[in-house]
Structure 1
Amino acid sequence: MTPHPAFAALLALPVLADPAAAVNPFFSEWKTPFGVPPFAEIREEHFLPAFREGIAQHDREVAAIAGSAEPATFANTIEALDASGQFLERVGAVFYNLTGAETNPKLQAVNREVAPLMAAHRDDVQLNDRLWQRVKAVWDAREAGRLDREQARLLERTYKGFVRAGAALTPEQKVRMRALNAELSKLGVEFGDRLLKATKAFRMVLDTPADLAGLPEGTRLAAAAAAEKAGLKGKWLFTLDAPSLWPFLENAENRELRKRMLTAYLERCNQGGDTDTNTIVSRVAALRAEKAQLLGYRTWADYGLEENMARTPAGVYGLLEQVWKPALAVAKRERADLQALMAKDLPGEALQPWDWRYYATKVKLAKYDLDEEALKPYFPLDRVREGAFYVAGRLYGITFTEKKDVPVYHPEVRAFEVKEKDGRHLGLLYVDYHPRPGKRGGAWMSAYRSPWVKDGRKVDPVVVNVCNFTRPAGDRPALLTDDEVRTLFHEFGHALNGLFYAGRYRGTAGTPRDFVELPSQVMENWAMEPEVLKVYARHYHTGEVIPADLVARLRRAGTYGQGFATTEYMAAALLDMDWHTLADTKPRDTAAFEKASLAKWGLIPEIPVRYRSPYFNHIMGGYAAGYYSYIWSAVLDSDAFQAFKEKGDLFDPATAAAFRGKILSRGGTEDPAVLFRDFRGRDPKVDPLLTKRGLAF
């Protein structure tokens, strides 16, 4: 696209003559392979000057658009605005990726300073009345604009974005909106800092071999390696990182130690002091309610869901209740099985939350002859990753080649060039798979550079998968659990979505929160298919393909535990909705509110909610009134995968081409409901999901 001449002139302006510019990598062109960030040259002190310059540049670009003497058009207003802020976006992409995956106290300090600057800058753009009047003028003349579908979609999203940011408010209301955004930004950073500190602060050090009873060899080796790294050689160190926590709860015979571990996990940020977040959670809920009402909505959920597939809180609750009732019924049956088995060990004792995973592991072994530890030798990390690459290659013809010369932000990170079937460069994929002190928990995909069309040429994406998987231990490579295998495929699905986007604009790349998980969750379906397992699931030591009888047992046990898994997730989704359907701004006692919410839905006490309010990081960020999205997208992914099943070919070329062309490459260029109907030929059905999870009656 060609920007308006006045805007193009601003883009050509030299960077400010700051003395720091000579040594700050952000102030020069990156002459690295694929134009990736020169991580080794970037230091913490470079970010603040770069953010300030990025904001200044974007301010000048916006001023040129808003102050143009020419009548507002799609080209000189909407397209120009979409192309603005590229310097700032480059700085932010590096900074926010590092604060998630490799942070430190200096970066956290920068984040506390940058957050209010960025909040104010966003308001300066979206509450700019002259700019708003030009956007509105293009919107009002849209019928005569002769726009193609993607242009019309960008105009619609831009216009609605301004309205939803408060552009149409009165001057007095805009002042209040700025104050709300500033406080919310500050609280979000503080919440993240406290959660990371609380999570990394817990350490359970064991020095008696008897306390390790029941733990698999790999878990013991990993704990010993963690202890040695911490200067505690000869002992065993357990943390709240997923590869340490969950195997302990599933296998440790010492009930009191299981209780200690789970309690530490559940009580994070809930014990007073400088890591407590209860006041933050209550305040954020109140501020969001006020912000929504300032914009004319009853609740934050009404505001947040308007652009999602669900549309309304009633739409979300309607789906959740369809799944909650059968899931809870199955969970209660599972509880009875666990209690019966526990009675043999501890007569008269009641099942507790720290007992569930331990006895579920035993029941799975007894019922299905499936030992999770017997699976792990067949899931070495590198082979699982190659399995994901294989599936993508079969489906879409793309290839992955490791590039050792590409700069990385940590020695554990690996980079892969992605090419189309005909050899054309598609993008770059970083993978970062193990927990570290500076990495937040969970797993995610993000981008250092997103694809779009700049000056008529495609900008190639640079995406990253960040996870917290089991580390290598002793002479064993990193061996994954079946859950970790699915997570790797899940995040890889997000990466494919980021790599395949083929829209012309940055503003049409993103999808609604309850659609964005479709590309990731659908990939999980291939992970445990026997046809795929034969390719990548090979014993790390012998190279033996995973035995057919073990695969059969895995599939027979596939729906076991879905009552628990679905219920603990659903409880969190319902808790999120309850927080964000509050219609008043009075302070809440976080614990009391959470207890009442879970009681209302009938969550049984043996199953803790997946995320308690004080550490519910998803809803402090982009999943506010949106954590339901995983189950909404699960309906979509189950139905989408069924399209392949109906063809009798997991890699049916026509279906794969349709999924890439009609879903993965489209981003937000069309309403997601339209995209799904275009792919599937109809609206999604919930039945395939209930069947897949063993919840159908």
Structure 2
Amino acid sequence: MIKGNPLLEPFDTAPFMKIKTEHYKPAIEEAIELARKDIAEITASTEAPSFKNTIEKLDFAGEKLDRITSIFFNINSAETNDEIQKLAQEISPVLTDFKNDVIQDPVLFKKVKAVYEQRDSLDLNVEQSTLLDKKYKMFTRNGANLNAEQKQQLRKLDKELAALSLNFGENVLAETNRYELHITKEEDLEGLPKGVRTAARMLAKEKNKEGWIFNLHYPSFIPFMKYAKNRELRKELAIAFGAKGFHGDELDNQENVLKIVKLRHQKANLLGYPTYAHFTLEERMAETPEKVNSFMEELLEKAKPAAQKEFSELENFARELDAIGRLEKWDAAYYSEKLKQKLFDLDDEKLKPYFELNRVINGVFLVAEKLYGLNFEQVFDVEVYHPEVTTYKVTDEAGKEIALFYADFHPREGKRGGAWMTSYKSQYRLNNKEERPHISIVCNFTKPTEEEPSLLTFNEVTTLFHEFGHALHGMLANTTYPGTSGTNVYWDFVELPSQVLENWCYEKEALKLFAKHFETGEIIPEELIQKIKDSATFHEGMATLRQLSFGMLDMSWHGQDPSGITDVKAHEEKAFEPTQLYPEVKENCMSTSFSHIFQGGYAAGYYSYKWAEVLDADAFEFFTENGIFDRKTADKFRETVLSRGGTEHPLTLYKRFRGREAAPEALLRRAGLLPKK
């Protein structure tokens, strides 16, 4: 064992401040060897294969490796640099090789299969049965039944895919970081709120430049698109945002996209599936591409007429206001905001003073306390990877430790865009000892300025609640095995806990807990709360169409044989046809920066956001029937959904909570596409 490597010494909380970049690779290599020993113990055993000596041991094998890699890959997303990215390219194929060594080990698979074939005669509980099924499929879905030559082919495909996905993500981050809109004339800032201008000036100062700088990170990009009167500058910024990975240079992702989809298709075929979507959806609630496409078509049919009507109204409004002949994509946020202000007398600038970041954090904690009896206490003795990261000890009403929670809220050059939840340690029970989880959320919210604290847009508030919903899924886990714990669930179910929590952002009872003016302490007026609710369905038809367009693009890449696709942009245009409202922008291509499906885990799964919306709208209707803080309903949701992780099929868990399957009408009612009950 390598001495002096904090990742290889025993640790409970991640030793971030002791870790140096050079520690990662040797620690991962050593942890792989330890994991191999765990596997060798299973394969060398002369006992007859049983659930305990095979499946259970396999689930706990490589625990050290899991912990080290979760730290490394989150650092690569939240605080990366060239050295870390280079290391990721070296480490990924090593991990892929190890994973394939395990999955393609014939002795190990023979033992797993022996246990699986006796499953009906074993006295297993529900969680054990699910874990057995999961482990067996882990082998069969990853080539255990292939011959030696096919196994080698699969290894090669997996290695190439891992490297291509990493490269895709690095290119998107580099593209995001290299662009800036440098403004030197104050008149070009017309329409922009004071806080947005101050943040842009600070950005320029950081780069030793005069004037104001805007970039492609959301806290800078979105306010500019929403408020800047200068149409030409909006166009420039919008085209830069939409052209990430589409410049035909060293950061171009077109070749990566084509290679990724073709290799995924080859992998699916090799494993006996017609397309990558068939392969993926076998392990989803939706089950088949046909069901996904039919689900999206049904929503499209309901949403498209509403979206076309909204678009026509917006176009007429822009024509009347500024004589705009044709509405373009860079006009969307600007005129939508203007129309929203006109209809509801509401904009982010009116709301932001009531959503100071620390108060919103406190608010989400209070919501969790009222629903689930959780308490959050900031702690300062836990190591963090950046000074902006805060840590909290989470306890229940009896003072029992529930989890450790990390939060990282502001954009940095080394942090990829978007928001996500991750786990540094799973919840599980081993040798009569319960290990509680260490959970983290990472976001990119508006930074504080010299004049004001971090004031969130309402969209950022819902994002915080969304990610915190994922965090609760991890924190409240109550299972035996790490493989079934927390967010280890089907991808089209994982968004239910996150999306359902967003609903509390629209409720007076919840808002009054935390929405207080950052200067006066005044609670958000009822009139503003009503406007938030009234405007919640504003342009919901267009928003639904937009989400469906992403889901349809995803399925177009993964639900057919892509070998004939040679032009990324042309393929994308065809996929977008059924949902298109705005004129096409020739310089832009979404696929080349669609990180969810080409770097994240949403390939053939982007539809799951809408799928989970059906679940969350239906689940929240149940809460509203009994009161949004009704403890009995919350306890039921906790016991049937949040704590159970992937111990049973998600449909079974949901029906246990709701008493029936989810009704799609609940989503359509909430979206204003059907009348309220």
Alignment TM-score, normalising by the size of structure 2:
0.97
- The alpha carbon displacement at 1:611 in A equals 8.1
The counterpart of 1:338, out of the listed 314, 318, 321, is 314
Q: Which residue of 1 aligns with 2:390?
A: 414
Deviation at 1:67, TM superposition (A): 2.3
Gap change, CA 1:584 and 1:414, over 3 Å in 2:
closer
Residue 255 of structure 1 aligns with an amino acid whose one-letter code is: R
Q: Aligned letter for 2:331? A: D
One-letter amino acid of the counterpart of residue 642, structure 2: L
Aligned with 1:640 (options 596, 613, 619): 619
Is the CA contact 2:318–2:324 (under 8 Å) kept in the aligned structure 1?
no
* Residue 475 of structure 1: how far off its partner (Å): 2.0
Q: Which residue of 1 aligns with 2:169?
A: 192
Q: State which of 380, 384, 389 in structure 2 corresponds to 1:404.
A: 380
Residue in structure 1 matched with residue 355 of structure 2 by the alignment: 379
Is the contact between residue 311 and residue 581 of structure 2 (CA under 8 Å) also seen in structure 1?
A: no
**Residue 525 of structure 1 corresponds to which residue in structure 2?**
503
Q: What secondary structure, in the 3-state scheme, does the structure 2 residue paired with 1:453 have?
A: strand
Residue 116 of structure 2 is matched in structure 1 by: 139
Structure 2 CA distance for partners of 1:326 and 1:130, relative to 1, 3 Å: same
Is 1:365 aligned to 2:344, yes or no? no
Give the letter aligned to residue 342 of structure 2. Answer: A
Maintained 8 Å contact 2:246/2:589:
no
The answer to whether the 8 Å contact 2:546/2:579 transfers is: no
Q: Distance in 1 between matches of 2:338 and 2:585?
A: 20
Q: Residue 543 of structure 1 corresponds to which residue in structure 2?
A: 521
Matches of 2:567 and 2:231, distance apart in 1: 31
Task: Identify which of 603, 621, 628 aligns with 1:624.
Answer: 603
- 1:650 is aligned to 628
CA distance in 2, matches of 1:348, 1:652: 50
Find 1:166's aligned residue among 126, 143, 166. Answer: 143
* Cα distance change on mapping 1:159 and 1:348 into 2, 3 Å: closer
Contact 1:290 1:585 in 2 (8 A): no
Q: Does 1:481 align with 2:457?
A: yes
The alignment status of 1:395 with 2:371, answered yes or no, reads yes
Change (3 A) 1:608 1:163: farther
Distance in 2 of aligned mates of 1:587 and 1:341: 39
Alignment partners' CA distance in 1, 2:657 and 2:96? 38
| Conserved? CA contact 1:572–1:611, under 8 Å | no
> Is 1:454 matched up with 2:454?
no
Q: CA deviation at 1:347?
A: 2.6
Alpha-carbon spacing, 1:111–1:348, altered in 2? closer, same or farther (3 Å)? closer
Find the aligned partners of 2:148 and 2:26 in 1 and give their Cα distance.
Answer: 31
What is the CA deviation profile of residues 610-663 of structure 1, one whole-angstrom value per residue up to 9, with x for unaligned ones?
98110011111310000111100000001011111111x111111110000000
Q: Distance in 2 between matches of 1:669 and 1:138?
A: 18
1:39 to 6, 16, 35: 16
Cα distance change of structure 1 residues 602 and 638 upon mapping to structure 2, 3 Å threshold: closer
**1:290 and 1:584 in contact (8 A); partners too:** no
Q: Which runs of 5+ in 2 are unaligned?
A: none
Structure 1 residue 328 displacement after superposition: 2.3
C-alpha distance in structure 1 between counterparts of 2:72 and 2:654, whole Å: 34
| Partner residue of 2:286 out of 303, 310, 313 | 310
Deviations 1:243-264 (A, max 9, x none): 1111100100000000011100
Q: Do the aligned residues in 1 keep the contact of 2:7 with 2:15 (CA within 8 Å)?
A: no
Partner of 1:88: 65
CA contact under 8 A between 1:286 and 1:586: conserved in structure 2? no
Q: Note the C-alpha offset of 1:554.
A: 1.8
The residue matched to 2:72 in structure 1 has which SS?
helix
Which position in structure 2 is the counterpart of 1:27?
8
**CA shift for structure 1 position 607:** 8.4
| Per-residue deviation, residues 55-76 of structure 1 (Å, max 9, x unmatched) | 1111122122112222111111
Q: Distance in 1 between matches of 2:648 and 2:150?
A: 32
Q: CA deviation at 1:696?
A: 2.2
Q: CA deviation at 1:40?
A: 1.3
Aligned to 1:6: none
1:582 shift after superposition: 1.7
> 2:561 is paired with a residue of what secondary structure?
coil
Taking the TM superposition and a 5 Å limit, the aligned residue runs for 1:584-599 are 584-599=562-577
Quick one: distance in 1 between partners of 2:146 and 2:285? Answer: 26
Q: In structure 2, which of residues 180, 190, 198 is the aligned counterpart of residue 213 of structure 1?
A: 190
CA apart distance, 1:585:
3.0
Q: Give the CA deviation at 1:496.
A: 0.3
Residues 61-460 of structure 1 aligned to structure 2 (within 5 Å): 61-232=38-209, 234-347=210-323, 349-460=325-436
Q: Residue 569 of structure 1 corresponds to which residue in structure 2?
A: 547
Residue 5 of structure 2 aligns with an amino acid whose one-letter code is N
Q: Does 1:494 align with 2:456?
A: no
Q: Distance between the aligned counterparts of 1:602 and 1:471, measured in 2?
A: 35
Q: Confirm or deny: 8 A CA contact 1:243 1:468 kept in the other structure.
A: yes
Secondary structure at the residue paired with 1:511?
Answer: coil
**Is the Cα–Cα contact under 8 Å of residues 568 and 608 in structure 1 kept in the other structure?**
no
Paired letter, 1:488: L
Deviations 1:544-565 (A, max 9, x none): 1111111112211111021222
**Which amino acid in structure 2 is aligned with residue 420 of structure 1?**
D
1:158-186 deviation digits (Å, cap 9, x = unpaired): 00111001101111111111111111111
Partners of 1:414 and 1:471 in 2: how far apart? 15
Percent identity over paired residues: 42
Structure 1 residues 59-68 or 425-434, which shifts more? 59-68
Distance in 1 separating the partners of 2:79 and 2:634:
36
| 2: CA distance, partners of 1:475 / 1:376 | 14
* TM-fit CA distance, 1:688: 1.1
Aligned partner of 1:228: which letter?
K
Matched residues in 2 for 1:607 and 1:567: separation?
A: 16
SS in 1 for 2:311: helix
Q: Which residue of 1 aligns with 2:674?
A: 696
Alpha-carbon separation, structure 2, partners of 1:549 and 1:584: 52
The structure-2 alpha-carbon separation of the partners of 1:198 and 1:584, relative to structure 1 and needing over 3 Å to count, comes to: closer
**Structure 1 runs not aligned, ≥5 long:** 1-15
Per the alignment, in what secondary structure is the counterpart of residue 407 of structure 1?
A: coil
Distance 1:442 1:553 in 2: 27
More off after superposition, 526-535 vs 257-266: 526-535
The Cα shift of 1:228 comes to: 0.8
Residue 583 of structure 1: CA displacement? 2.4
The separation in 2 between residues aligned to 1:29 and 1:331, in whole angstroms, is 56
Which string of whole-angstrom CA distances, capped at 9 and with x for unpartnered residues, describes residues 240-293 of structure 1?
000111110010000000001110010110011111000110111011111111
Q: Which of 29, 33, 39 is residue 52 of structure 1 equivalent to?
A: 29
Tell me the amino acid that sits aligned with residue 615 of structure 1. Answer: S
Amino acid at match of 1:548: E
| 1:516 corresponds to 2:494 | yes
Deviation for aligned residue 1:198 = 0.7
Rounded Cα–Cα distance in structure 2 between residues aligned with 1:670 and 1:129? 28
What corresponds to 1:560 in structure 2?
538
SS in 2 for 1:401: strand
Of residues 633, 643, 657, the one that matches 1:665 is 643
Output the CA distance in 2 between the equivalents of 1:240 and 1:696. Answer: 36
SS state of the match for residue 143, structure 1?
A: helix
Q: Give the TM-score, by structure 1 length.
A: 0.95
1:327 offset after TM fit, Å? 2.2
Deviations 1:185-214 (A, max 9, x none): 111111111111011111111111000000
Query: 8 Å contact 1:489–1:523 — kept in the other structure?
Result: yes
Counterpart Cα distance in 1 of 2:566 and 2:591: 12
